[in-house]
């Protein structure tokens, strides 16, 4: 009972702080990129993340209220997509501070979009049976294999890749988790056209694609544990409405073309005017 009251009080305090911050900072004439930079660096884009990872360390229930409050205020919400939902919390859990400052910063500010390169044609439910392999070459890895059902791969700048790095080890112990650059000749994303005409999913072909040692998230050959973190965040994030609750306003990253648009064009339509404004 006491915990519930404490959480409610903390939630009210955080929402009051957010409201005052929005009054001071929301400007519909800012570009989406400039607005997301303010929102993300203030810890409002991914508030469940710890404070060393551009968050505020709040409970998911409060994060949902934060997303709803941003929408109700009439401001543009946090970047949508798998970067905020999956990659950011996984890197906050397993990455170094340098990786957090490289990858998570670009996620919460919407600069980079991510996709999830887990499933393969022969490795869906049996994910640990994956055959995409990464072979060491100096301080880089060469990646060969095929992924499938890559949601939003066509707008991704980076991918959460799991690949086999120790073929002779038991299957759960020979996998490494990488942050791979999607903008390279060895990565080909082919859309899977649905009956609706839309193509949200893709096949992703990796042919001598390269990824540096520095892009390993967690330890080499410990990718199964890291992937399970991602899947845990997927379950809890989707279960609460998609990461930051009512957020997820527009597609982030360099390909979608939203960053230079004015924020006013993408903010929620048809909502009540700003509270108190
Ligand atoms: C909306 C959506 C988005 C997705 N986005 C992504 C993405 O971005 N990136 C990504 O990597 N993946 C993505 N996926 C893929 C998803 O993770 C896989 O679909 C999932 O892992 C299941 O794999 P599969 O489709 O190959 O099914 P299969 O593994 O072929 O399973 C088919 C059926 O057989 C059953 N089955 C399998 N093995 C057994 C067994 N041993 N005993 C009894 N029954 C069994 C399963 O329960 C299932 O009903 C997405 C899926 C969906 C639905």
- pTM for this predicted structure: 0.92
Query: Do 136 and 226 reside in the same domain of the chain?
Result: yes
pLDDT at 248: 58
pLDDT digits (tens, 9 = 90+) for 133-157: 999 999 999 999 999 999 999 999 9
> Is 150 a pocket residue for ligand 1 (Cβ < 6 Å)?
yes
Phi-psi region of 172 (alpha: psi -120 to 50; beta: other; left: phi over 0): alpha
Number of structural domains found in the chain: 2
> Is 116 a pocket residue for ligand 1 (Cβ < 6 Å)?
yes
Would you say residue 93 lies in a domain? no
Q: Is 23 considered catalytic here?
A: no
48 to each of 60, 214, 236, how far by Cα in Å?
6, 26, 12
Would you say residue 49 lies in a domain? yes
Would you say residue 138 lies in a domain? yes
The total of other beta-carbon atoms located within 10 Å of residue 51's CB is 9
Query: Do 246 and 211 reside in the same domain of the chain?
Result: no
Would you say residue 98 lies in a domain? no
**Ligand 1 atom nearest residue 125's Cα:** 29
pLDDT digits (tens, 9 = 90+) for 24-49: 999 999 999 999 999 999 999 999 99
Residue among 87, 125, 131, 230 to mutate when testing ligand 1 (max atoms within 8 A of CB):
125
H or E stretch including 133? strand 133-137
pLDDT digits (tens, 9 = 90+) for 93-130: 999 999 999 999 999 999 999 999 999 999 999 999 99
Query: Do 207 and 226 reside in the same domain of the chain?
Result: yes
The three-state secondary structure class of 58 is: coil
Query: Do 84 and 137 reside in the same domain of the chain?
Result: no
* Alpha-carbon torsion, ordered 139, 140, 141, 142, to 10 deg: -130
Query: Do 127 and 203 reside in the same domain of the chain?
Result: yes
**Ligand 1 atom nearest residue 151's Cα:** 8
Would you say residue 143 lies in a domain? yes
Query: Do 156 and 211 reside in the same domain of the chain?
Result: yes
d(CA 147, CA 167): 18
Would you say residue 272 lies in a domain? no
Which residue in 35, 26, 13, 24 sits closest to 72, CA to CA? 26
d(CA 134, CA 147): 13
Query: Do 161 and 210 reside in the same domain of the chain?
Result: yes
Query: Do 227 and 172 reside in the same domain of the chain?
Result: yes
Q: How confident is the model at residue 264 (pLDDT cuts 50, 70, 90)?
A: confident
Would you say residue 273 lies in a domain? no
Calculate mean pLDDT across residues 41-60. 96
d(CA 89, CA 233): 7
Residue 143 sits in a domain of what CATH number?
2.40.110.10
Taking the centre of ligand 1 as the mean of its atom positions, its distance from the CA of residue 146, in whole angstroms, is 15
What's the helix, strand, coil split of the chain in %, to 5?
40, 20, 40
Query: Do 142 and 223 reside in the same domain of the chain?
Result: yes
Query: Do 123 and 52 reside in the same domain of the chain?
Result: no
Would you say residue 94 lies in a domain? no
The domain of 255 spans: 2-88+241-266
User: Do residues 55 and 225 make contact, with C-beta atoms less than 8 angstroms apart?
Assistant: no
Tell me: pLDDT of 270 over 50.
no
């Amino acid at each position: 009972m006491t915990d519930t009251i404490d959480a409610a009080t903390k939630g009210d305090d955080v929402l009051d702080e957010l409201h005052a911050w929005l009054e001071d900072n929301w400007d519909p004439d800012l570009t989406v990129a400039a607005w997301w930079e303010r929102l993300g660096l203030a810890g409002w884009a991914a508030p469940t993340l710890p404070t060393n990872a551009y968050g505020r360390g709040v409970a998911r229930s409060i994060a949902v209220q934060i997303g709803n409050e941003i929408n109700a205020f009439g401001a543009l919400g946090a970047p949508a997509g798998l970067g905020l939902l999956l990659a950011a919390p996984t890197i906050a859990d397993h990455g170094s501070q340098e990786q957090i400052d490289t990858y998570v910063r670009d996620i919460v500010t919407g600069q980079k979009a991510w996709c999830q390169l887990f499933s393969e044609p022969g490795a869906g439910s049996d994910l640990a049976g994956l055959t995409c392999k990464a072979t060491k070459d100096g301080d880089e890895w060469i990646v060969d294999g095929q992924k499938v059902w890559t949601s939003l791969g066509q707008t991704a700048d980076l991918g959460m890749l799991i690949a086999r790095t120790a073929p002779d080890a038991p299957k759960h112990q020979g996998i490494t988790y990488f942050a791979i650059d999607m903008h390279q000749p060895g990565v080909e994303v082919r859309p899977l056209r649905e009956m609706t005409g839309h193509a949200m999913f893709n096949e992703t072909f990796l042919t001598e694609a390269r990824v540096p040692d520095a892009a390993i998230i967690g330890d080499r050959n410990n990718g199964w544990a890291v992937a399970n973190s991602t899947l845990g965040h997927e379950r809890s994030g989707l279960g609460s409405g998609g990461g930051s609750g009512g957020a997820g306003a527009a597609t982030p990253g360099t390909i979608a073309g939203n960053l230079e648009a004015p924020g006013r064009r993408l903010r929620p339509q048809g909502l009540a005017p700003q509270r108190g404004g």
